[in-house]
Structure 1
Amino acid sequence: MTQVSTEQTQTNNVPLGILLMIGATVVFALQDGISRHLAGTYNTYMVVMVRYWFFAAFVVFLATRAPGGIRATAKTDQLGLQIFRGALLVAEICVAVYGFTILGLIESQAVFISYPLLVAALSGPVLGESVGWRRWSAIGVGLIGVLVILQPGMGVFNPAAVIPFFSALMFAVYGLLTRYAARKDTTATSFFWTGIAGAVCMTVVGIWFWEPMVGSDWLWMALLCVSGVAGHWLLIKCYEMAEASAVQPFAYFHLIWTAILGIAVFSEVIRTNVAIGAGIIIAAGLFTLWRERAKG
C-alpha cells in the first residue's frame, strides 16, 4: 500500500527519492509479514485496531507540532469525505490482512499491485480526468494479468482468490478520494483524519474481538506499529524529495521483498501463473505511469 499524496514543495532529488521509496517498500513488506503472523494467531480486527491506536497517536503528535496545532490541522470543510476516506482505508487493511492469512503474502501482493491500474480506470468517473485509449489498453492488459493469477475456469476456482483484488479496488478508491480531498485540504489534514477516523471506526468494531496476547507477540505488535509509522514517514519524505512519477515505479519492489519474506519465513512458493501474471501487471502499471508522466 505504497501511495501517499503530498502537497509539499519538492527538491526533486531523484536518487534520494528512489532510495527512500525502496526503503519504504522494505518496511511495508516487513509490516505485511508481521500482520500475517499476528492475524494468523489473533483476530484480524484486534490486530488492526491496536495498530491504528498507535497510528492515531502519531498523527496527533504531528498535528501538535504543526503551525496552528491540532485545531488548524483538523480544520476541513469536507469532514464527511475525510471520515469516509479513513473508514475505507481501515476496512481495506482488514481485507488485505485477512487475505494474507488465507492466500499468503505472495499471491495476495501479486494481485494487489493492480491498484494503480484501477486508479487509472476510475479516475475518469470519480475525478473527471481524461483516460485515453493507450491507458485503457494498459488497464485491459493488467486485468488480463490478474486473470492469469486467479485462473478462473481452471479446475475448482477458489473464491478467496478475489480478496486481494477487492482490497486493491478499495485502495484505489481511497487513493482517488485522497486526490479529490486534496483540492481543498492539505496533506497534513488528510493524514490527520486518516488516522483519527480509522482509529475510531476500528475501535468500535475491534474492541468486541479482544483476545489476550502473549508477551512475545506484544513485541511483534510494537514492531508492527513502529513499522507502520516508519513506512508513512519514509513515503512522505520520498515525495518531498522527488516527483511522484519518478519514484512510483520503484513501489513495485514491495512485491519482491514480500516474495522473499513469504518464501524464507512462511515457506510459500511462487507458482508459474503468479509470476507471469505479476509480470504482466507490473509492465502495464509501468506503462500507465509513463503515460501520466508524458502527459504531465
Structure 2
Amino acid sequence: MKQSNNIPLGIALMIAVTFVFAVQDGLSRHLAGEYNVLMIVMIRYWFFAAFVIALAKRHAKGIRGVARTDQPWVQIGRGLLLATEICVMVVAFTILGLVESHAVFTCYPLLVAAFSGPVLGEHVGWRRWAAIAVGFIGVVIILRPSGDVFDIRALIPLLAATMFAVYGLLTRFASRRDSSTTSFFWTGVVGAVAMTSVGVWFWEPMSGQDWIWMTCLCFTGVTGHWLLIRCYEVAEASAVQPFAYLQLVFAAVIGISAFGETVSTNVAIGCVIIVAAGLFTFWRERLQR
C-alpha cells in the first residue's frame, strides 16, 4: 500500500510530537529530582510496554507474528541501548537542566550521519562531513563557555546523544529485515524487562501528587509515540524531520518558566550552529533520495 504524503498534516503532527516530548522531559526532570531515576524510567517503560503490546494485539499478525524476528540480538541490543540512553538523559536533566541538556543532545542527527558510513556502509560525501564538523564546533561552543574550565558533567547529554545515534543506526539496520512494528514491539518489551530487573531494587514510596505527575509522564510518553507513528504514516520522514528541532525550543520554554533555567549566550550560539548544520544534512539527504 502506497504511503500518503500529506506534508502539512505531517508537519503539524511533528510539532505536536515535539511539544508532547518536551512536556515529558519536564515531568521527568521534576520526578527524577525527587525519586530514583531507575524507578521513574521503569514505570515509564511499564506503560510503554503495555502500549506496544496493545498495538500488537490489534495487528493482523497478532503478538506472536509481530514479535517474530530472525535477528533477536540486534533487537535486544536496540532495546537495551535506548533504555540506558533514557536513564542517562534524565540524569542530565537533573544535573544540567533541560536547556543545556537539549542543546547538546541536538547534535545526534550529525552523529547519525557520521556513523552511518562505518556502521551501515553508507556513503557520506564531503558536504555532509563539512556540516558534521561545523555542528561539532557548535557542541564545543556549548561545552566550553567563554573559555572557562571544562565541566565534565556536560559530557552526560553528549553520551546520551551518542547512544541515541547508535540506537537509530541499529534501528535502520534492523529495518532491512524487520518491519517497524516488530522493532517498536521489541523496543518496548525489552526496555520494560531490563528496567524492571534493575529499577525494582530502587523502589521508593511516592506521594499522591507525584503519582499524578507520574501518570501524566506515562500518558505523554504513549501519546508522543502514537503521534510519531501517525506522523511517519502520513508524510515522508525527510520532509518533517527538520521540525523535530522544535523540541529544543519547547524544552527551553519549560526549563525557563518552570525551573528557572537561563539560556546563556554560548548555548544560544552553539544551538544555532548545530541546528543549521543538522538542517543542511537533512536537505542533502533529501536531495540524494
TM-score w.r.t. the length of structure 2 is: 0.99
Are the counterparts in 1 of residues 174 and 183 from structure 2 also a CA contact under 8 Å?
yes
Match of 2:143 among 147, 150, 154: 150
Q: CA deviation at 1:156?
A: 2.4
Partner residue of 1:58 out of 47, 51, 62: 51
Match for residue 214 of structure 2?
Answer: 221
**In the alignment, which of 189, 199, 203 is matched to residue 196 of structure 1?**
189
Q: Which residue of 1 aligns with 2:200?
A: 207
- Counterpart among 267, 272, 282 of residue 279 in structure 1: 272
Question: Which of 67, 92, 106 in structure 1 is aligned with 2:99?
Answer: 106
In the alignment, structure 1 residue 262 sits paired with structure 2 residue 250: no
Equivalent residues in 2 for 1:92-171, closer than 5 Å: 92-151=85-144, 154-171=147-164
Q: Assess if the C-alpha contact under 8 Å between 1:110 and 1:255 holds in 2.
A: yes
RMSD of equivalent CA atoms: 1.0
Q: Give the SS at the match of 2:147.
A: coil
Deviation at 1:10, TM superposition (A): 2.1
Rounded Cα–Cα distance in structure 2 between residues aligned with 1:177 and 1:155: 37
Measured at CA, do residues 214 and 281 of structure 1 come closer, stay the same or move farther in structure 2, by a change above 3 Å?
same
What is the CA distance between 1:209 and its match in structure 2?
Answer: 0.6
Structure 2 residues not aligned, in runs of 5+: none
1:182 aligns with 2:155: no
Give yes or no for contact 1:9–1:240 (8 Å, CA) kept in 2. no
Residue type of the alignment partner of 2:288: K
Q: Are the aligned partners of 1:26 and 1:257 in contact in 2 as well (CA < 8 Å)?
A: yes
Q: 2:39 aligns with which of 19, 37, 46?
A: 46
How far is 1:33 from its partner? Answer: 0.1
Matches within 5 A, 1:79-98: 79-98=72-91
Match of 1:67 in 2: 60
| Structure 1: segments with no counterpart, 5+ residues | 1-7
Residue 226 of structure 2 aligns with which residue?
233
In the other structure, the counterpart of 1:25 is 18
Q: 1:249 aligns with which of 242, 249, 264?
A: 242
Distance 2:234 2:240 in 1: 10
SS of alignment partner, residue 85 of structure 2: helix
Q: Distance in 2 between matches of 1:183 and 1:204?
A: 30
Point out the more displaced range, 144-153 or 229-238. 144-153
Structure 1 ranges of 4+ moved more than 4 A? none
CA apart distance, 1:154: 2.3
Taking the aligned partners of 2:76 and 2:117, their CA distance within structure 1 comes to 23
Q: Using the alignment, how far apart are the partners of 1:186 and 1:196 within structure 2? A: 16
Cα distance between partner residues in 1 of 2:27 and 2:41: 11
2:146–2:266 contact (8 Å) kept in structure 1: no
Partner deviation per Cα, 1:56-104 (whole Å, 9 max, x = no partner): 0111111111012101000000111101100000000000000000000
SS at match of 2:42: helix
Contact 1:10/1:239, CA 8 A, preserved across alignment: no
Task: Provide the C-alpha distance between the structure 2 equivalents of 1:235 and 1:9, rounded to a whole number of angstroms.
Answer: 19
Partner residue, 1:3: none
Partners of 2:145 and 2:266 within 8 A in 1 = no
